Amino acid sequence: MNRKVKTITLTFFILCSSLLADDRIEVGDRFAIDDLLSRYSHSWDSKDPEEWADLFIDEGIWQNSFAGKVETILKSNKERLQFAKKLQESFRQKGVTTRHHQTNTLLRKKKDGDIHGETVFSVIWQYADDPLPKLKHSGVYRDQYEKTDKGWRFRFREVCFDHKLFEDSENARLVPDLTLLKPRTLAEHRKLGGRAPYFSHYRKGDIELVFIAARHEPRVGSPTHKLIEEVVEGFDPECVITEGLRSEDGYSPERLIADAKRREKSGNLPEPLYAALLCSEREIPFIGGEPVPVVTTEALRAVTKDDTDILGFLVVRHLGQVRREQPEAELDDKVKRLLPRMIQQFELETALTVDQFKDWYHKTTGRNFSAENLRRGDIAPIAIENPNLLKRMGIAAMMAREKHLISFQSKMLLEHRRVLVVYGSGHLVYESEVLEDMLGKPIQKGASW
């Protein structure tokens, strides 16, 4: 029995010795290096540039290469910190969530005692309005590690992408400076805008964006409709962004095309639907530029804590569209149907009857609720001194929409070379400074293509 035990023990020792001869890295060091790799992913994905930069020794090297060609080299933690802050802020502004996945790590101890490693990686991106994440990068990390007083750190990490550097890598740095976005006064609207409808045409490198500053006109054959048709025909966009449709609904929703075809017969076809119909006929993908409703709700709750005020504002805002498109509509009936729809759509914690809404309207505006007393200026997002509640909510909702729309345009320009935006003229006034900072001054502006 003892001989058998000794034989098993000897065999086990021989096997272990063989393994240890191939891999002389201490188990504790392996665990610590594995933790270092995990912290690299977590610190970047959580947008913590300080922690990410601290994973390197100060004189360490971080570099990336695309299909074998080195692109960027960072030689100090100061450089790495600046790099991370800038890039992660662009992700934050664009609403990009990243997830770095590292797997199949191989560690090797060199004759001089240094530990080197290779790890397969993949990176997925997801924008705020994307229904699903998308694979963005894949490749291999090639590392050298160093044990310090603070634990294991990277002495060298090369990010070896499998793919070539994107041809539009310069465009990939299109980051809208949202600090330039601000409420505009009436004087600024007159100075920065033009007589709607008109367009502004931007170009940077090989990408182009045309923004049609529309006048909201439901009648087919209006100047806005004619300009849309001219630009679609002459500019030949690869993608069109339309107002009133949520980005999360995806490209060219069939229900919208069906609605456009139905309304075309009556001659009452608002410009977003007209643009969608033209795109459908020419097989051009179109997509909405609106954020999810909860984004607007959160922006409005920063103005007022009372969801009743938010509900009232949303109904009044929607009635402006009703008055344009259906001037003979019975408002009480519209309000009755709008109230529960707005509550559900914007996830509000309140309720109003039609009479309670009328009381709220009178209390808020000082006027009785009627078609004649609905004034566009009440909620128009134009900056004035001492704005009342409705005006402040109008500006907050506009700012939330613009932040999403500008970021979404930047995203679309990474996927399409020529993008057309069809939105009301006020949106271009709000965005003009941001677009010029990102794309340069318009190469042309006009009322006809």
The yes-or-no verdict on residue 42 having pLDDT over 90 is yes
Rounded Cα gap, residues 200 and 427, in angstroms: 12
Distances (CA, A) of 448 to 154, 197, 198, 420: 58, 9, 7, 15
CATH architecture group of domain 27-166? Roll (3.10)
Mean pLDDT over all residues of the chain? 89
Burial class (CB in 10 A: 0-12, 13-18, 19+), 181: middle
The yes-or-no verdict on residue 395 having pLDDT over 70 is yes
pTM: 0.64
Q: What is the pLDDT of residue 321?
A: 66
DSSP 19-84: HHHH----HHHHHHHHHHHHHHHHHHHTT-HHHHHTTEEEEEEEEEEETTEEEEEE-SHHHHHHHH
Q: What is the pLDDT of residue 95?
A: 82
What does the domain layout of the chain look like in residue ranges?
27-166, 169-448
Q: How confident is the model at residue 189 (pLDDT cuts 50, 70, 90)?
A: confident
* Contacts of the segment 353-359: beta carbons below 8 A, 24+ positions apart: 357/311, 357/312, 357/315
* End-to-end alpha carbon distance in the chain: 97
Compare 362 and 173 and report the one with higher pLDDT: 362
pLDDT digits (tens, 9 = 90+) for 17-32: 444 444 589 999 999 9
Please give the DSSP secondary-structure letter assigned to residue 165.
Answer: P
Q: What percent of the chain has pLDDT over 90?
A: 69
Q: How confident is the model at residue 402 (pLDDT cuts 50, 70, 90)?
A: very high
pLDDT digits (tens, 9 = 90+) for 100-146: 999 999 999 999 899 999 999 999 998 876 778 889 999 999 999 99
Q: How confident is the model at residue 192 (pLDDT cuts 50, 70, 90)?
A: confident
